[in-house]
Structure 1
Amino acid sequence: MKAVKVLYFASLRELLGKSGDTLPLDVEQTALTIWQTLNPNSSLPESCLIAINQEYAAADSIVNAGDELAFFPPVTGG
């Protein structure tokens, strides 16, 4: 069975206490559903950015087995 590689960056990594997860996936799911499955005690932050295979995506975007899913806070700088 193929899996989804999930990455957490910056403050999300600190919040969750982990830098990533691997989730076996036999049917497509949304990015939000995967977050909820892997982090049932933490709501997805409203300002969180999501990327699927290194392209920005929405929380309701479909994730397939073999994809890389990343969650990270908005980047600020000057």
Structure 2
Amino acid sequence: MQVLYFAWVRERIGLPKETLESSASTVMELVEELRAREERYAVAFSDLSALRVALDQDLSDFDASLEGVREVAFFPPMTGG
């Protein structure tokens, strides 16, 4: 699956996107896999209340299933303006 990182998430991880093979069945399991990879991922995913996730471009929750998902995007909450 493609994993996309936006704004400060991208800055902390150092990549705009990557293709991953994962055994995760939910977004939260994917986050745990990413946190365990390297310190930069652990820092980026340290406060999930400051993150949002979209699955195949639809806003979702961290307990959502990854079955059939091709793209996961992580980004900070959007603000109006």
SS of equivalent to 1:63: coil
- 1:77 corresponds in structure 2 to 80
Percent of paired sites with the same residue: 34
State the Cα distance separating 1:38 from its structure 2 match: 2.1
Task: Choose the corresponding residue for 1:59, options 62, 65, 68.
Answer: 62
Structure 1 segments (4+ residues) deviating >4 Å: none
Q: Greater helix share, 1 or 2? A: 2
Q: Greater strand share, 1 or 2? A: 1
Task: Please list every run of 5 or more consecutive structure 2 residues that lacks an aligned counterpart in the other structure.
Answer: none
Count matched residues.
Answer: 74
Task: Please list every run of 5 or more consecutive structure 1 residues that lacks an aligned counterpart in the other structure.
Answer: none
Q: CA RMSD in A?
A: 1.9
Task: Choose the corresponding residue for 1:21, options 18, 36, 57.
Answer: 18
